[in-house]
Amino acid sequence: MRELLLEIWTSVRRNKLRTFLTGFSVAWGILMLVILLGSGNGLQNGVLANFDDYATNSIDLYGGRTSKPWMGYDKGRRIRMWNSDLEILKREFPEIDEIAANKWLDGKKATYGREFTQVWLRGSLPKVQQMEGVKLSAGRYINDEDVAQYRKVIVIDEPMRRVLFKGADPIGKQIKVGGLVFTIIGIEKGDAQRNNSSCTIPLTTGQLIYTANNPEINNTIITLRGIDTDEQMEDFEKRLLRRLAAEHHFAPDDKSAIWIDNTMEQYKNMMVVFGGINLFVWIIGLGTLLAGIVGVSNIMLVTVTERTAEFGIRKALGAKPSSIIRLILTESVMITAAFGYMGMVLGVAAMEGLNYLLEQSPTEQTGHGMNTVFLNPTIDLGIAVSATVVLIVAGLIAGYIPAYRAAQLKTIDALRYNK
């Protein structure tokens, strides 16, 4: 093996510039492949971060407007959902695991001492935290006792804390929201650089105080269990729409009356899209790498031509064709692997550097990830192993034709070559 490596090194030293230019094309190809894969990974991570904490087996229901007349009602009628709909869903649909709801209460003025800010207020049920992936930096979220006892408690966010409390701990303190006093029980994580705030109170409290106990809700969130196929999901949505149609008096097939926002379907569609993106990236990357493979193959053909007489002498001394093939293939794989790994290291370093810059950005520092579209563009071990396999296969492909040509040389013809 030592003699084999020494021969390869001697051959490379004789043609430094040619070897470098050929190897550079391989390094560039694998560099582009790694950067493309890392970029695709970053885009996927960024988009899927929006689903990271949100329950992917959930469905959001919103009241809409009818698109057709029904039972004497004109089309265009507004359909509103009520607290009673939650009981119907819980009682009549065994596929539903958890239920939550929100009621938007418009903008309110919040004050603490001499400080004030405009906030968006909503009433929510406790399960909203789990289903929407709400994260807290301090305190707790709304619980069942808050809802049952109509407590005047509130969960504020980071912008509100920054404006009203100048970064101090607000837990347990009281603020005025819309002229009423609420006790702060938690702080929702968010982007402290935003100027607008949103805060959450118990749904029952919000309906009682701000809507004169009107039981209307703006959206219902449900999580499902036991639904594994598209057919089961389609059947569930049809039954759901029929039951709500009977309750609110609209056509059972009127999908405009109740908007069904299926997070599970969105997630599946997103994964299909990213599967196509990854396939496209591999095709482009491998196409770029193929140009480098062709260059290595050409240089090995030139090497075989230059060393034809040498191979003739080897055969005359008893060398087997397999030893010549091994020599050419080993040289091809070594050139491809050496320069390929250089390109891979540069690509990984570039992605790690980009990831470092992203982590130092204000968005990452504040922990607000819902608007992230590019996140952690580094490549994992599986991709590195795949790239390694690609390099080895590329070297074998690049060296096969020259090696086969060298092995087929007749001894007498090789000895007479360039004579």
Q: Which helix (H) or strand (E) holds 325?
A: helix 321-359
76 and 193, same domain (yes or no): yes
Q: Is the pLDDT of residue 247 over 90?
A: yes
182: confidence class by pLDDT, cuts 50, 70, 90: very high
Residue type, 167: G
Q: What is the pLDDT of residue 381?
A: 67
Q: Could you give the number of structural domains in the chain?
A: 2
198 and 313, same domain (yes or no): no
208 closest CA partner among 281, 265, 152: 152
φ/ψ of residue 297, rounded to 5: -60, -40
Pairing of strands 258-262, 96-112: unpaired
CB-based contact 201:182 (threshold 8 Å): yes
- Span of 216-220, 263-267, 341-345 with lowest mean pLDDT: 263-267
CA distance 5 to 287: 30
Summary mean pLDDT of the chain:
82
pLDDT digits (tens, 9 = 90+) for 184-238: 999 998 654 455 678 999 999 999 998 889 999 999 999 998 888 888 899 999 9
174 and 284, same domain (yes or no): no
Q: Is the pLDDT of residue 414 over 70?
A: no
9: confidence class by pLDDT, cuts 50, 70, 90: low
Q: Domain span at residue 354?
A: 2-53+267-416
13: confidence class by pLDDT, cuts 50, 70, 90: low
CB-based contact 190:366 (threshold 8 Å): yes
CA distance 339 to 29: 10
* Exposure letters 324-351 (e unless 16+ CB within 10 A, then b): bbebbbbbbbbbbbbbbbbbbebbbeeb
pLDDT digits (tens, 9 = 90+) for 295-316: 777 777 777 777 677 777 777 7
293 and 254, same domain (yes or no): no
Asked which of 218, 244, 263 is the last residue of a domain, the reply is 263
289 closest CA partner among 33, 22, 18: 33
Non-local CB neighbours of 88 within 8 Å, separated by 6+ positions = 243, 244, 247
Give 73's DSSP letter: B
Angle between helices 381-407 and 321-359 (to 10 degrees): 160
Q: What is the pLDDT of residue 143?
A: 96
38 and 134, same domain (yes or no): no
CB-based contact 363:261 (threshold 8 Å): no
* 334-343: average pLDDT: 80
386 and 338, same domain (yes or no): yes
Percent of the chain exceeding pLDDT 90 equals 35
Q: What is the pLDDT of residue 41?
A: 82
280 and 210, same domain (yes or no): no
62: confidence class by pLDDT, cuts 50, 70, 90: very high
- Please, where are the H alpha helices in 53-157? 83-92, 128-132, 144-148
Non-local CB neighbours of 116 within 8 Å, separated by 6+ positions = 109, 110, 164
160 and 196, same domain (yes or no): yes
DSSP string, 341-384: HHHHHHHHHHHHHHHHHHHTSHHHHHT--TT-S-------HHHH
Asked which of 243, 263, 283 is the last residue of a domain, the reply is 263
Cα angle 60-62-68, degrees, rounded to a multiple of 5:
130
41 and 112, same domain (yes or no): no
357 and 244, same domain (yes or no): no
| CA 231 centroid distance within chain | 26
Q: Is the pLDDT of residue 365 over 70?
A: no
Q: Look-up: residue for tokens 């001499």?
A: 114
276 and 200, same domain (yes or no): no
216 and 250, same domain (yes or no): yes
Q: Is the pLDDT of residue 167 over 50?
A: yes
Asked which of 230, 263, 296 is the last residue of a domain, the reply is 263
